[in-house]
């Protein structure tokens, strides 16, 4: 078992951090670039709208299942090795999609692309291992911001590609970018020698993968299938049963897929609970803002923008994540990650509360989205820092993987609640059923309450030291 690795110089560290952030940006782009063309997929692939919706669900499922597997393998067998493996799978997926003409190959492509989600927590752990300790907050902030930056760039880029080229271009671009990033990773990264050792928990992997699949299917498809349908309830019960089975199973294994003893430490558990709420808040911002920009003007509150125009107006919020990275890092260095997380969560709550009453005009909608993004970026930068300060160095990838996974659960919950609220408060305008303005504002209010709850959960963390990660190298 190795607990230390050679740190790179400041100059090399900057190259490593920027390269990993670029990797995260490409991952996010390939996750979201399918969205603008999704309404046209039934006709393009000769399938139904319900079947085409699996192009999004499959990626979420693959990301949820692969993240704990890849991150645990990264801790055990090498982080660079698993980064290159995940990139290879992602590139293969994009290549398959670039030639797909029917649903099945494109669906397979989207599953392979979903594996790329595991790169974010592994990249954060690699930053912890390689960068000088005083440079870690900035590297983590950049890596955390890369997901939002990639999503912001990917949506308008996809809109432009679909408008001026064949829809397969969204896969051509992600395949090409994936190859470039993979070459950069192979050349820039030095393999970390910090590893946990041991044997891989295959039984735990099967049980936990089944549990995660059931949970994500309920969250992503429950509204479509019906929350009280036999299938939804059956999956929900199955998830509970598998969760109950996994607890004693993981406690008995020497090298568990999910280290419950570490995950239930108060400092880790609280941050993971906050991750669910912050993930909910982040996704609510994107979903409702997109609704307001795209709904027809006949509604009286929609702006009637095209997909490309909507994507362009969403760019400022996404790019701000990257701009805020050095600011978040500076706050972490001066005041500690606990205070940074508290500021981020409270800022999100206040911003959402303002959006409940100020969402009538384009500039107010964009400003509200920007304010939420600014404060979300601080929370995203702080959470991995707090997790890594509370877990052994040999488990940073898997611990961050769990935190990332819980953010995804929060995002999926946000989508499910939005569907439920908009359905229950829907109105008919011009013969078309659409979300009511009150329903959309209710989502903002729920997000504000969730972020306030996240801030309250952060308060016990303030009793810790101001910045443990900068104070120690091992736990």
Are 168 and 50 in contact by the 8 Å Cβ rule? The answer is no
pLDDT of amino acid 8: 66
Quick: pLDDT tens for 341-398.
Answer: 999 999 999 999 999 998 888 999 999 999 999 999 999 999 999 998 888 888 888 8
DSSP-based three-state secondary structure for 429: strand
Distance CA 303, CA 419 (A): 20
Q: Is the pLDDT of residue 59 over 70?
A: yes
CA-CA distance, 418 to 19, in Å (whole number)? Answer: 35
Q: Is residue 379 exposed (0-12), middle (13-18) or buried (19+ Cβ within 10 Å)?
A: buried
Q: Which residues contact 345 (CB under 8 A, 6 or more apart)?
A: 274, 277, 278, 375, 379, 451, 452, 454, 455, 458
pLDDT at residue 103 tops 50: yes
Phi, psi (deg, nearest 5) at residue 4:
-130, 150
Task: Determine the Cα–Cα distance for residues 33 and 159; give it in Å rounded to an integer.
Answer: 8
Check residue 378 and give its pLDDT: 92
| Average pLDDT over every residue of 153-171 | 80
Report the alpha-carbon distance of residue 209 to residue 114 in Å, rounded: 14
Average pLDDT on 291-308 reads 82
pLDDT of residue 468 exceeding 70, the answer is no
Specify the pLDDT at position 10: 66
What does the pLDDT look like over 114-159, one tens digit per residue?
998 899 999 999 998 888 888 888 888 888 888 888 877 877 787 7
pLDDT of residue 90: 94
Rounded Cα distance, 311 and 297, in Å: 18
Rg (CA), the chain: 21
Distant-in-sequence, close-in-space partners of 422: CB < 8 Å, separation ≥ 6: 435, 436, 439, 440
With contact defined as beta carbons under 8 Å apart, do 172 and 342 qualify?
Answer: no
Q: Say what the pTM is.
A: 0.86
Residue range 95-123: average pLDDT?
Answer: 91
Q: Which residues contact 241 (CB under 8 A, 6 or more apart)?
A: none
Residue 113 predicted with pLDDT over 90: yes
Burial tier of 42 (Cβ tally within 10 Å: 0-12, 13-18, 19+): middle
Per-residue pLDDT, 184: 92
Q: Which of 152, 443, 437, 440 is CA-nearest to residue 297?
A: 437
Query: For the chain, how far is it from start to end, CA to CA, in angstroms?
Result: 14
Question: What pLDDT sits at residue 145?
Answer: 85
**Ranges 47-51, 195-199, 338-342, 455-459: which has the least confidence:** 195-199
CA angle 252, 393, 65 (to 5 degrees): 60
Q: Which two tokens stand for residue 225?
A: 């299938």
- Which one, of 72, 452, 448, 445, lies nearest residue 274 by Cα? 452
Relative orientation angle of helices 337-357 and 362-390, to the nearest 10 degrees: 160
User: Has residue 474 got a pLDDT over 60?
Assistant: no
How many Å apart are CA 258 and CA 350, to the nearest integer?
Answer: 35
pLDDT at 45: 87
Question: Contact at 8 Å (CB) between 188 and 11?
Answer: no
Mean pLDDT across the chain:
86
- Compute the average pLDDT of residues 295-322: 82
How does DSSP assign 215-252, residue by residue? HHHHHHHHHHH-TTSHHHHHHHHHHHHHHHHHHHHHHH
- CA angle 346–348–327, rounded 5-degree value: 85
179-199, pLDDT tens digit by residue? Answer: 999 999 999 988 888 887 778
């Amino acid at each position: 078992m190795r607990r230390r690795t050679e740190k790179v110089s400041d100059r090399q560290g900057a190259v490593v951090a920027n390269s990993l952030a670029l990797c995260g940006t490409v991952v996010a782009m390939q996750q979201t670039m399918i969205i603008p063309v999704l309404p046209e997929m039934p006709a393009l692939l000769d399938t139904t709208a319900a079947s085409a919706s699996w192009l999004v669900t499959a990626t979420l499922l693959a990301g949820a299942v692969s993240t704990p597997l890849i991150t645990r393998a990264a801790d055990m067998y090498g982080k660079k090795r698993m980064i290159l493996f995940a990139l290879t799978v992602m590139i293969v997926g994009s290549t398959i999609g670039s030639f797909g003409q029917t649903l099945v190959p494109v669906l397979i492509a989207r599953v392979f692309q979903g594996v790329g989600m595991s790169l974010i927590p592994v990249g954060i752990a690699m930053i912890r291992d390689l960068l000088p300790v005083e440079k870690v907050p900035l590297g983590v902030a950049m890596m955390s911001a890369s997901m939002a930056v990639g999503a912001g760039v990917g949506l308008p880029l996809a809109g432009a590609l679909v408008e001026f080229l064949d829809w397969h271009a969204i896969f051509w671009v992600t395949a090409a970018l994936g190859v470039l990033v993979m070459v950069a990773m192979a050349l820039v990264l030095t393999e970390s020698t910090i590893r946990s050792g041991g044997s891989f928990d295959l039984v735990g992997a099967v049980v936990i993968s089944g549990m995660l699949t059931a949970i994500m299917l309920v969250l992503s498809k429950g509204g479509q299938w019906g929350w009280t349908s036999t299938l939804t309830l059956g999956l929900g019960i199955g998830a509970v049963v598998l969760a109950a089975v996994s607890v004693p199973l993981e406690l008995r294994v020497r090298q568990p897929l999910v280290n419950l003893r570490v995950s239930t430490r108060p400092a880790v558990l609280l941050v993971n609970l906050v991750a669910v709420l912050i993930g909910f808040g982040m996704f609510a911002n994107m979903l409702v803002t997109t609704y307001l920009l795209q709904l027809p003007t006949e509604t009286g509150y929609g702006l009637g923008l095209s997909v490309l125009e909507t994507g362009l107006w969403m760019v400022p919020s996404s790019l701000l994540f990257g701009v805020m990275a050095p600011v978040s890092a500076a706050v972490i260095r001066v005041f500690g990650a606990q205070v940074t997380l508290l500021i981020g969560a409270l800022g999100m709550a206040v911003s959402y509360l303002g959006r409940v009453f100020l969402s009538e005009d384009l500039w107010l909608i964009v400003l509200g989205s920007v304010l939420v993004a600014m404060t979300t970026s601080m929370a995203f930068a702080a959470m991995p820092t707090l997790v890594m300060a509370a877990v052994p160095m040999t488990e940073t990838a898997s611990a961050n993987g769990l935190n990332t996974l819980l953010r995804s659960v929060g995002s999926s919950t946000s989508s499910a609640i939005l569907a439920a609220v908009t359905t229950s408060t829907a109105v008919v305008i011009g013969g078309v059923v659409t979300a009511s303005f009150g329903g959309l504002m209710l989502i903002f209010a729920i997000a504000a309450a969730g972020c306030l709850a996240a801030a309250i959960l952060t308060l016990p963390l303030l009793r810790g030291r101001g910045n443990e990660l900068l104070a120690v190298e091992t736990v």
